[in-house]
Amino acid sequence: LAKTTQPISMDSYEGQEVNITCSHNNIATNDYITWYQQFPSQGPRFIIQGYKTKVTNEVASLFIPADRKSSTLSLPRVSLSDTAVYYCLARNTGKLIFGQGTTLQVKP
């Protein structure tokens, strides 16, 4: 399974765009990049998944360059309620391995 590396923490202010980058240098050909969000006292929640280029949904965008060794989760105009831990995963077989995640703190 590909190991992922992401910043431990980030701070932002309401209304700003937040980009969280994840490194996955040994990603396998069959791996997809998946991001989850976790609020305190809740289980993780799926945000977005992609294989390459750009994927966008109502919550976020995911940018994956051609070499697929990294990916960037983009959250447009964050609010206080986006304060959470964000996990980047590389998966293919269905087995989900979570790293330490990035704790995003959004300030007023």
Partner 1 sequence: DARVTQTPRHKVTEMGQEVTMRCQPILGHNTVFWYRQTMMQGLELLAYFRNRAPLDDSGMPKDRFSAEMPDATLATLKIQPSEPRDSAVYFCASGAFSRHTEAFFGQGTRLTVV
Which residues lie near partner 1 (CB under 8 A)? 30, 32, 34, 41-46, 49, 87, 91-101
Cβ at position 29, least distance to partner 1 in Å: 12
Nearer to partner 1, 43 or 108 (CB): 43
Neighbouring CB atoms inside 10 A of 8's CB total 9
Exposed/middle/buried for residue 103 (C-beta within 10 Å: 0-12, 13-18, 19+): middle
Smallest separation, CB 15 to partner 1 (Å): 28
Rounded to whole angstroms, the Cα distance separating 54 from 38 reads 23
- CA–CA gap between residue 105 and residue 108 (Å, rounded): 10
CB of 105 to partner 1, least distance (A): 17
Q: Which DSSP category does 60 fall into?
A: -
Q: How far is the CB of 44 from partner 1 (least distance, A)?
A: 5
Nearer to partner 1, 10 or 16 (CB): 10
Q: Which is nearer to partner 1, 40 or 108 (CB)?
A: 40
